Structure formats: C-alpha cells, structure tokens
Structure 1
C-alpha cells in the first residue's frame, strides 16, 4: 500500500479504524512522510478524518499509535500470565494437537477452563514402541530401530502426523523429546513441571530418551539420525566369495534404467545383480523357517541383569537435586549480598550430580528397553508361514515381505545364516534361464543348525 501511495497511484485511503492501518509508531512514521509529500487523504470509518498534514494531526496520530501499542503489549502480558498460570496448574494452554493425545475441544462455558488432554491409546502405543526401539538401539545397535527406520515404518503403514503429513526424523524426534509424553508441561520445549494429564511413557524413560537423542555423538549429519539405513536385503550382510576375499558386499553402481547390483567393497572382482540374489536368498530363508526346529531359534529367553540402584531411587534422587537447584536459585535471587561466583560453583556441582544420575537413568532405561524389545521374528507367525509355504511358496514369500519390514527380515537372516556370493561359472549353466541366477553361485551357511 505504501508503494502505491508513494507512486501517486491513489489519492485516498479508506480504513475501518486507524488500528487496522498501524498499531505501532514505527509503522506510522513512513505513512506520515508519504502524506506530507503526496497529500493523501485518510478516512477511518469509525473515526474522524486522520489529518497527517498538520502538527496537531500528527500528534493525535502518534498518541493513538501509542495507545494501540499499549493495548497490544497489555494483551500479550495477559496471555503470558495466563499461560504461566496454566503451567503452574499443569494444564494445557492450547496450540496444535500433540501426537499421542486426542484433540481438546473447549467447553461451551464462560469460564474458559483449560481442558486436560486425553491420551490416544493407539498413538500412545506407537510412541512407547518408538521409545523402546530407540533406547534398545542405543544399548545395542543390533537390536531396536533408528529414527529413520521408525519413520519409514510409520509412513509405510500410512500413519499420519497430527497435521496429516508424512513422518520425518525431525518430526518424530520432536515428539519423543517433548515433555508432554512424560506427563509434564512443556514451555519453550523444556520441562516445566508435572501436568494433570496422564503420561504415555515413564519420566525416567523420557529422561533417557532426551539424553540419547541429544547426544552429539549420535549425529552423523543435519538430520541428527544414526546414518543411512540399508535398502537392500544383503547390504553389509552378504560376503564376497571370490578367492577367499570375505569382504562384505554393498549395492551400488547402477545407472539410470539399470538394475541395482551388489559389489565387493574391497575390489571390483565381484558384481552381481541384486534382485535375483535377494529373491533366491529369501525363498531359501522362508523354506528354512518352515522347518520344525526354526521356532527354537527365536524362543530362547534373554537374560537380564538387574540394574542397581532401582529406577525409583534414581528418580527420587533426580527430583531432590532438581528441587535443591531451584531452591538455590531462589535463595540467590533474594540475597543481595550473595556472590555470583559462589552461586555458580554450587549450582555447577548440583548440575554435575544431576547429569550423572541422568546417565544412570539412561543406562537403566536402555537396558530395560533392550530386554523388552521383541525379537526379529514372532514365533507365533511360523505356523502361518509354513501353511502358506505348503500351499504356494510365492504366496508365502509375498506374505513374509508384507508382514515383516526389511529391517526385521535382515535381522532374521543375520541371526540364522551367512550368505556368500561365489564367482559365476563360465557360460550359462544348464537349466538357468537367460539373465537368471545360478543357485550354485550363492552359498548359504546356517548358524548353529543343520
């Protein structure tokens, strides 16, 4: 609008009220300069003519601008006071719906009492599953899942974010870092005390999540995740069998329009088209899983070493130290003779003890999550897999891939077998179609079984 007026493309402005034209003095001054130069007429509907061409008119306009600024600042103060009161009461103060909680609709009353969010059972189960997977992965990378893997799984299952979008690492990380899921009030992303709503995860689990996800050593890039996840069954699992090489193979080298290939990571002496190899290996793996002795490989109990001290004791010590730190800050604020150096020294010692306890909580929670993490294969699925394999091996393979994501299928394979890609024979072996896979070029050695 100012550009139009400055270019003399309009000679008048009709506005409902001056506070719709400007609310702060810094917004008024450019308008005054233009009016003095172009003599534009300004007519508010709910106010008399705004005369910016005279000193008296400009004084009135500046006073009105100051009044408008005061009203805005006063409204902001009231809103901040209300949000602070809600935090002290442990209730929700509005904003977008948080994943894990149902949308809160205000009551049809005049008191505008804040509503306490209700836990959404389905989404809460997903959060607990993700929390345990992340902590288990932190304790042992061979178990659990990464943020990338969880996002991929949720997106494949068509689970939307509260805004109806697909999951990203940053979005999922924000959910897991939010104090809300631990039954705590969040203020500017930080824990502001207990809330009235139910917790989705225990407080010690959330503290452990916060420590794990904020650990700089985990971050391999701007995404803050543990690195790229394999997209192919044999990536980093299959071994090169040429001349006793033994190096792992990884996919790579495929150009546009070409099929992906496995290549030896130590030399260019072995290249194999990935698709047929993965298809053959999984067919053999499914057939092996249908044997009677397969169930035992996935039913062995996991020994768990009890953690000392208990999580209850750690939580109590953490709460006591946190309270002591708050008391120290209040005492320093009320003592005019207190020395800042003394306060910093005392608070540093308390913070160091809090950090040490949080590390113990993280280790305890990670160990518990690792023990609770389900194995790569649910043994109750084996009878169904065997039934399908007996009726139609193609159907069994399709069901296997649909039921178990790639990450879990890779874990099953790594637990049961070592796959080695051998040099191909010269010419096309008898019975192998053009472009097909020679079964003799893939050796599968079963681990601990016949």
Structure 2
C-alpha cells in the first residue's frame, strides 16, 4: 500500500528519519541535530508520524570498511517511508541504493525532493542521482588528495583534522609543556625505558591527547605514545600518506638525529606486542644480571611474585630472594665500590675526556647510532617505515655518527657518567637515575649471586644469607 493510499484511508502513515554527517570534529553533534529539526518539519508537513530517528554521526557513507550502525538497523526495521535532509546523507554509492530499493518505500528529502522507489521510473531517477553523487564524490576526493599532496610538498600543515600533540590549533605553534614532554619521552626511549613508562609520565603530568578530548578515552595508550614519538612532523618533516615530502614550515620539537634514533628503536622487529618482548629493557634492577646460587645452576634470575611478595628467581625456581633485599644490597655495594679510590681513580683516568665528554661516552653513542642505522634498515625491510623515512633517518644519523667519530679518541667501555658531576653526582642521584643506567653500573661494579633458602624460612635469613656480592676487578 502506498503512502497516499494510507492517507486516503484515514490512517496516519509512519516514517523513519535518517540523519548523518561524515565528519564531526568537535563531537557536539550539532550538524545532525540541525538535520533532525528540518526532517521533523518536513514529516509534519507531509502528515507523517515519526516512528524512529536514526543517527550516524561522524561516519562516511562512501568507504567500504566503514559500517553505519543506524543505517543497517533502519534497513532491518523495514520502515514505511524514509525522511532525510538530502539523499546523499542516506545513499552515496550504488550498493547502498540497491538495498534501499529492496524496501520499495518512498524517500523524502528536505533539499532534494521525493524519490518513489516503488516504481520503475522512481528507481531509474534514484540510480541516476546516485551515479552522479558517486562521480562527484570521487572527483572531490581526487581534488582533495592533490591539494593535500601539494600542501605537504610546500611544507604546509594539514589542518582539517584534530591538532597534533605538541602544537596548537593552527598545527604550527608549539605548546611548551607538551613539547617538553615529547623531548623527555624521546630521551627516555633512548635511555632504554619503555613506552609504558613514557605513557605513565605523560598521564602523571596530566597531559591529555588532543584526540582523547573527542573520543573520551582516558590516559595515553602505548600506540598513541609510539605514534607521537615516531611521527616525522616532530622533526620538522612534512609527510603525505606516510612519505616524507620535505622540510616543514612549522618548527621542529625534536632534533632529527634524536627522532630517527627513536624511530629505529621503536620500529625494531624485536619490539612487538604480545609474547616475549626481547627488545625491551628488563623492568627490575637485577633481572638478567643476578646469578642463581644453586649448585650447578648457570641461569640468571628474573622478577616474579611469590605469595604476594615480589622476588627474584631463576627459571627452575631454585631461589626466591625478596626483590627489596636484593636491590638494596646490590645498590649499596655498587655505590660503595664507586667510593673506593683505586676503583674511581682508574675509571676517571680511563675516560680520556675531551670537550667535556669522555671517550667512553662517545664510543657508546657511536655504537648506539650504528645500531640505530641498522635498525632503520631492518624496520624498512619489515615494512614499518617508508623508504623516504629510512633515507631521511639514515642521513640524519650518519651525520651525527661522523661528528662523534671525529671527536672520539679512545673507549673505556664504562656506563654513562656525567663528566661534570662525576661519581659524586652518580651516588647522590642514584635513586632517580633511569633504571637502565643503574643496571649498567651494578653489572659493571659487581657480581651478584642470589642464594637458595636450603630449607630455611625467609624471615630467619640475613641479608648475607640471601645475597652474595663480589666486586669486579678494575682490569676487567
């Protein structure tokens, strides 16, 4: 029965309202609200009773991988008629039009008139309108892609989306506290810390991702942190579809050498989600450093829990040494060793400092840069970065490597040590040092062995019963 027949029989025909916008940057749904008001007015003018209002906000109708939940639900509900603001809000591609045609209902649009899909003529008109809408959409997309590519080649920012973390709404002006957090996050990754540590740091500083203000997400995700720290835009590079197009007009936040070092680390195939994370620095002081003291066991220990207590133990569980006892003993032994004149004196002599930097530090930096150059090549081979990113990153890192190698005279092979503050600064600032630095010094100064209980209760064991320390010889 048609709509007009319903009216003639004295019955009040029903309709469903469908509204949609492709992009809602603010999330306030004002666009769909305006459509609702106009559609309700048209329904009242036609004498239609509104059965239900279907809303797909911030959703495209042309992308194959985008599902419109309310559009699908409306089709399933078998409406008697559909009212929309414009037919292109309802149907933009032929595949969706054919599904609406199967309903055999009238479609009323505020801005595009009436389509009677129950007749051959009406269906022919609808198919023609949709074909031209598809054509115009494709033409518009092609024009937009070309404009975006030209903008990237000229170094101009893409400002249609949400602002990037670190920059203001114009996508060019640096926001000081966010930029400082990005720099600190990059240094944490270079120091061997994890993405989780960076995410916690940013959350503690109450720095919110601009996207989370729209989506309502709470806190930084590992994916979000990685996306920021590996984006070329923070090194002052403009990109298009992942390809570096050239120098950007906005100021960089990260030095290119720092940025591409971080990219090499975070895109290493050894760092993956799920399973064993072989490329990640251990999260405890003695994991992989402390030795199991059980006779015949050659394993190192790792952190685990035992009856609610954090402990160290080997894979065979020969030991269950409380972490607090082992960490405290190893830390004190390391600092005590640094205070011995024979040890500290020879370390300082071996540094062979030049221009405020030690030969050991320069050697360490050079080695890290070589590893990161290799990491960029592997990341490109794995498909994690593009050819342009690898080329730009290799150029930046190679330049830094050449500078370091020109300054480097000799290598003492010691962990990081501030050339100004020296060992005194190391000792004073020990609790706040990055975990990788403390681990390096413990391993450099001491041989730590964690002993099995051998039937004794933990509470009856002294610190020396739990932990045995041997100082390494300086000549080693």
TM-score range, shorter chain: 0.5 to 0.7
Cα distance in 1 for residues equivalent to 2:154 and 2:117: 49
Show the 5 A alignment for 1:9-408: 10-35=79-104, 40-94=105-159, 95-99=161-165, 101-105=166-170, 117-128=172-183, 131=186, 144-148=191-195, 151=198, 154=201, 157-158=204-205, 160=207, 162-163=209-210, 166-203=219-256, 206-207=259-260, 209-210=262-263, 213-216=266-269, 218-219=270-271, 226-243=278-295, 247-252=299-304, 254-255=305-306, 257-265=307-315, 269-282=318-331, 300=351, 301=353, 302-303=358-359, 304=362, 362=397, 365=400, 375=416, 379=421, 382=424, 401=431, 403-408=432-437
Summarize the Cα distance change of 1:295–1:156 in structure 2 as closer, same or farther, 3 Å threshold: farther
Note the alpha carbon deviations across 1:376-426, whole angstroms, 9 max, x for none: 67948957976xxxxxxxxxxxx954x234333323322333222345588
Q: Single out whichever of 233-242 and 290-299 deviates more from structure 2.
A: 290-299
How far is 1:33 from its partner?
2.3
Distance 2:427 2:257 in 1: 39
Change (3 A) 1:89 1:156: closer
Could you say what secondary structure the match of 2:88 adopts?
helix
Q: TM-score, normalised by structure 2?
A: 0.59
Deviation at 1:180, TM superposition (A): 1.0
Instruction: Kindly state the Cα deviation for residue 209 of structure 1 after the two structures are TM-superposed.
Output: 4.9
Q: Secondary structure at the match of 1:199?
A: coil
Relative contact order, higher structure (CA 8 A, sep 6+): 1
Measure the CA separation in 2 of the matches of 1:411 and 1:132: 17
Return 5+ residue gaps in structure 2 as ranges.
1-70, 213-217, 370-385, 409-413
Q: List runs of 5+ in structure 1 lacking aligned partners.
A: 106-115, 136-143, 312-350, 387-398
Q: How far apart, in 2, do the equivalents of 1:360 and 1:117 lie?
A: 25
Alpha-carbon separation, structure 2, partners of 1:410 and 1:244: 25
Q: Distance in 1 between matches of 2:255 and 2:328?
A: 42
Q: Deviations over 1:52-102 (max 9, x none)?
A: 233322222223223333443343233223312311321101223333x32
- Structure 1: distance between partners of 2:444 and 2:192: 16
| CA-based RMSD | 4.8
Distance 1:241 1:133, change over 3 A: same
Q: Which has the higher strand share?
A: 2
- Alignment length (residue pairs): 362
